[in-house]
Amino acid sequence: MSEAMLRLTGIEKTYNKGQTGEVQVLAGADLTLAKGEMVALVAPSGAGKSTLLHIAGLLDVADAGRVEIGGEDMTGLSDRRRTAVRRQEVGFVYQFHHLLPEFSALENIVLPQLANGVARKSAQARAQELLEQVGVGARAGHRPSAMSGGEQQRVAFCRALANSPRVLLADEPTGNLDPGTSDQVFGALTGLVRGTGLSALIATHNLDLAARMDRVVKLDQGQIVAG
Ligand SMILES: Nc1ncnc2c1ncn2[C@@H]1O[C@H](COP(=O)(O)OP(=O)(O)OP(=O)(O)O)[C@@H](O)[C@H]1O
Q: Which sequence spans correspond to the domains of the chain? A: 4-226
| Cβ–ligand 1 contact at 222 (below 6 Å) | no
Q: How confident is the model at residue 13 (pLDDT cuts 50, 70, 90)?
A: very high
ipTM for the complex? 0.93
Q: Which residue has the higher pLDDT, 76 or 141?
A: 141
Q: What is the pLDDT of residue 211?
A: 92
**What residue owns the CA closest to ligand 1's atom 31?**
46
Regarding the domain with residue range 4-226, which homologous superfamily does it belong to in the CATH classification?
A: P-loop containing nucleotide triphosphate hydrolases (3.40.50.300)
Q: What is the pLDDT of residues 28-37, one digit of tens each?
A: 999 999 999 9
| Cβ–ligand 1 contact at 191 (below 6 Å) | no
| Cβ–ligand 1 contact at 204 (below 6 Å) | no
β-strands 215-220, 223-226 pairing:
antiparallel
Q: What is the pLDDT of residue 161?
A: 95
**What residue owns the CA closest to ligand 1's atom 18?**
48
Burial of 165 (0-12, 13-18, 19+ CB in 10 A): buried
**Average predicted confidence (pLDDT) for the chain:** 92
Q: How confident is the model at residue 195 (pLDDT cuts 50, 70, 90)?
A: confident
Ligand 1 centroid–CA 50 distance in Å is: 7
Q: Which residue has the higher pLDDT, 75 or 63?
A: 63
For the segment 145-173, the average pLDDT, to the nearest whole number, is 95
Ligand 1 centroid–CA 83 distance in Å is: 23
**What residue owns the CA closest to ligand 1's atom 28?**
46
**What residue owns the CA closest to ligand 1's atom 13?**
46
Q: What is the pLDDT of residues 69-82, one digit of tens each?
A: 999 899 888 888 89
Q: How confident is the model at residue 102 (pLDDT cuts 50, 70, 90)?
A: very high
Res. 2: pLDDT tops 80: no
Helices (H) and strands (E) in the chain, counts: 7, 10
Ligand 1 centroid–CA 95 distance in Å is: 15
Range with lowest mean pLDDT among 18-27, 50-59, 122-131 = 18-27
Closest ligand 1 atom, CA of 16? Answer: 4
**CB atoms closer than 10 angstroms to residue 143:** 16
Closest CA to 51 of 169, 173, 187: 169
Q: How confident is the model at residue 91 (pLDDT cuts 50, 70, 90)?
A: very high
Closest CA to 111 of 125, 101, 124: 124
**What residue owns the CA closest to ligand 1's atom 17?**
50
| Cβ–ligand 1 contact at 126 (below 6 Å) | no
